[in-house]
Chain A
Amino acid sequence: DARVTQTPRHKVTEMGQEVTMRCQPILGHNTVFWYRQTMMQGLELLAYFRNRAPLDDSGMPKDRFSAEMPDATLATLKIQPSEPRDSAVYFCASGTTGTEAFFGQGTRLTVV
């Protein structure tokens, strides 16, 4: 059963530390999305890729967030330095162009 895998599932870190979240998209999918979910803002699109190339990262705070796809089986989202307001659930999703996206279970990040 193909699925999007995200690690870690939970992360607690101190303010100022670097955080790296990883995502393994479904094999054969050519688009990858990063979303952030909070109670206040709901579901926000941070960035997305097609064929490993970033298409749009306008939803990300550029000074501290970065998203990459070093290869077709790995997408990463980094926050450096982390801040308490970054506490949220971060979702990765993958799909093929023009069709629905499949979501991972999310990484719950708490910055204290």
Chain B
Amino acid sequence: GDSVTQMEGPVTLSEEAFLTINCTYTATGYPSLFWYVQYPGEGLQLLLKATKADDKGSNKGFEATYRKETTSFHLEKGSVQVSDSAVYFCALIPYYNTDKLIFGTGTRLQVFP
């Protein structure tokens, strides 16, 4: 079945460092792809999304590009802040079952001043 694989965490960075969190997927056809963020003690919030190949989602300085050829949707940010410390989840909606939202295991990001 369709699935999402994320890099193991935690990712530990200093403030203003460049961030990459890897996400690859296994899916039939063209799923929709998402990044969610979970701050401590809160629910998941949608960060960005892309619904077709080569689309770039962006929000709050974060970006991710839907790469069909490498089945990837890596999350990037040019300069992280302490306030970006959170858990980041990659997710997909399969094209054949648009009611189902499938999540990766999450990657914890810790940013230090």
Q: A42-B106, A106-B43 are in contact. Are A101 and B98 (CB under 8 A)?
A: no
What are 13 A-B contacts defined by CB distance under 8 Å?
Answer: A42-B105, A43-B89, A43-B106, A45-B102, A48-B99, A50-B99, A56-B100, A93-B101, A95-B101, A98-B99, A100-B49, A102-B46, A106-B43
Chain B residues with Cβ under 8 A from A56's Cβ? 100
Given A42-B105, A98-B93, A91 and B99 contact (CB-CB distance below 8 Å): no
- Interface footprint category on A: 20 to 34
Q: In angstroms, how far is the closest chain B Cβ from the Cβ of A21?
A: 13
A-binding residues in B (CB < 8 A): 32, 34, 36, 42-46, 49, 89, 93, 98-103, 105-106
How close is B52's CB to chain A, nearest CB, in angstroms? 13
Residues of chain B with a CB closer than 8 A to A45's CB: 100-103
- Identify which of A91, A97, A98 contacts B44 (C-beta below 8 A): A91
Measured CB to CB, the closest approach of chain B to A5, in angstroms, equals: 11
Give residues in A with beta carbon < 8 Å to B.
4, 31, 33, 42-43, 45, 48, 50, 55-56, 91, 93, 95, 97-106
With A and B bound together, what is the CA distance between A1 and B98 in angstroms?
25
Majority-rule SS of A interface residues: strand
Q: Which residue in B43, B49, B89, B100 is a CB contact (below 8 Å) of A48? A: B100
Beta-carbon contact of A103 and B43 below 8 Å:
yes
Q: How far is the CA of A95 from the CA of B101 in the complex (A)?
A: 10
Contacts of A103 in B (CB 8 A): 36, 43-45
Q: Nearest Cβ distance between residue A83 and chain B, in whole angstroms? A: 24
- Pairs of residues from A and B, 6 with the lowest C-beta to C-beta distance, nearest first: A98-B98, A103-B43, A103-B44, A42-B105, A100-B46, A105-B43
